Amino acid sequence: DGGITQSPKYLFRKEGQNVTLSCEQNLNHDAMYWYRQDPGQGLRLIYYSQIVNDFQKGDIAEGYSVSREKKESFPLTVTSAQKNPTAFYLCASSTGPPWAQFFGPGTRLTVL
């Protein structure tokens, strides 16, 4: 079945540690995105990539890094520089037009 997978579903880390969140898609979509969602807040764009080996900062890229070495994969690293990393992280992919984004199940990161 085609879809987007994210792992793990829940992740706990100690403050000061870097952590990498996985996102894989087999939809053959060119574009991939990372969002962060906090309680009562909308989705905020962290990074996006429209093509392999290229990515762009979103609205809240500070403290995060990404890579796009393969079309299917777009991992997100939450670094120790991110001041408030505890959040629900969502990965999405799209192709277009019309550029509808389809989301993975999300990773809930808690930094202790």
Q: Which residues bind another protein (CB under 8 A)?
A: 31, 33, 40-43, 45, 48, 50, 56, 58, 90, 94, 96-106
Cβ 49 to another protein shortest distance, Å: 11
Complex with another protein: residue 12 or 17, whichever CB lies closer: 12
Complex with another protein: residue 17 or 26, whichever CB lies closer: 26
Cβ 9 to another protein shortest distance, Å: 10
Cβ 44 to another protein shortest distance, Å: 8
Complex with another protein: residue 28 or 56, whichever CB lies closer: 56
Cα 23 from Cα 55, distance rounded (Å): 15
Closest CA to 44 of 52, 56, 33, 55: 33
Q: Where are the alpha helices (DSSP H) in the chain?
A: none
Cα 36 from Cα 26, distance rounded (Å): 22
Q: Helix, strand, or coil here: 56? A: strand
